[in-house]
Amino acid sequence: MENGSEKLINGRAFAARLRRDIREEAHALHAQHGILPTLAVVMVGEDPASAVYVRSKVRATEEAGMRSVAHHLPGDATEEELLTLIAALNADPSVHGILVQLPVPQQIRRDAVLDAIAPEKDVDGFHIVNAGRLAVGRRDGFVPCTPLGCLMLLKSVLPSLAGQQAVVIGASNIVGRPMAQLLQQEGCTVTVTHLKTRDVAAETRRADIVIAAAGHAGLVRGDWIKPGAIVIDVGINRVQTEEGSRIVGDVAFDEVLPHAAAITPVPGGVGPMTIACLLQNTLHAARKTLSA
């Protein structure tokens, strides 16, 4: 008997395959051209979740046959100190990709820091130049890793998205906005909901594709889902349980599962794709130095 598990989009397995392919390509780039793709990861402060993600990125980079350099600044570091470090990494030809783990402490202006990274090393795709390239439909910049991973998972179950009605719940610069632009470029008709949207449920009910990226645990309910919709859950929310805590998405998974044709779980859905796409962007950044 079917229990819904056949509907699960396994991001962990997809990411593992992608990482294996990237490893082969990284080895080839090194063997043929002597280029060792290198990612600099910068963290400011002691946020425990950020520390976990940074460790995962460093490990994944090395497992993919690439080099990682980690820089950790104290929580009271100034914006100037961070900008000085970024300038040094920008100027270092052995570094191909740079990322600053978000969030940064409140004394540091996030956008000033993101825009200080050289666009050709901006493997997070957050620099205003890369955001602009995506916004005007140019694919010669870096695309943010989480939306890129969502698109790959979506296309693994629906290769052509043309004509689909999509809703993106959440309009952040890191996920919602770039996701909407990617979907539009794939031929979807896209609605982006945000804090002022009057009726998010009604917008969602019309959608063939639902991207939940609001940062609100269990926001998307079963009766929001059009039968047969594909649901991609970007949420990573830590909630308290009797045993301690666990991670849940923005989708009320058990309610939504019966209505959806396919759905990403949390954990094990979009999250692992974020890191795999970061490796892919780093490989592309290194490869681009061949033609620079």
Measure the CA–CA gap between 86 and 114, rounded to whole angstroms.
9
Is residue 233 at the binding interface for ligand LMY7XDAE, with CB under 6 A as the rule? no
Question: Is 124 marked active-site?
Answer: yes
Applying CB under 6 A, which of residues 26, 73, 89, 99 lies at the interface with ligand LMY7XDAE? 99
Which of 269, 156, 164 has the alpha carbon at shortest distance from 206? 164
What's the residue count for the chain?
A: 292
Nearer to ligand LMY7XDAE, 102 or 201 (CB): 102
d(CA 285, CA 212): 29
280 among known catalytic residues: no
* Candidates 57, 121, 122, 181; catalytic one: 57
**Is 292 annotated as belonging to a binding site?**
no
Q: What share of the chain is helix, strand, coil (3-state, %, to 5)?
A: 45, 20, 40
Neighbour order of strands in the sheet with 97-100:
67-73, 38-44, 97-100
The window from 18-26, 62-70, 154-162, 261-269 that contacts ligand LMY7XDAE (CB under 6 A) reads 261-269
Query: 145-157 and 11-33 are packed helices; what angle lies between their axes, rounded to 10 degrees?
Result: 120
| 241: three-class secondary structure by DSSP | strand
* Residue 208 found at the interface with ligand LMY7XDAE (CB under 6 A): no
Single out the segment in contact with ligand LMY7XDAE by CB under 6 A; choices: 82-90, 151-159, 205-213, 271-279: 271-279
Contacts of 137 (CB under 8 A, 6+ apart): 181, 185
Q: Which residue is nearest to ligand LMY7XDAE (CB)?
A: 271
Q: Please pick, from the candidates 113, 214, 236, 279, the single residue that binds ligand LMY7XDAE as defined by CB under 6 A.
A: 236
Stretch that binds ligand LMY7XDAE, among 25-33, 95-103, 165-173, 252-260 (CB under 6 A): 95-103
* Active-site annotation holds for 226: no
Q: How far, in whole angstroms, is CA 269 from its chain's centroid?
A: 11
Angstrom distance (rounded) from CA 47 to CA 260: 35
Would you name the residues annotated as active-site residues? 57, 101, 124
Residues forming contacts to ligand LMY7XDAE in the complex (CB under 6 A) are 53, 99-102, 124, 145-146, 236, 247, 266-268, 271-272, 274-275
Residues tagged in the binding site annotation: 170-172, 236
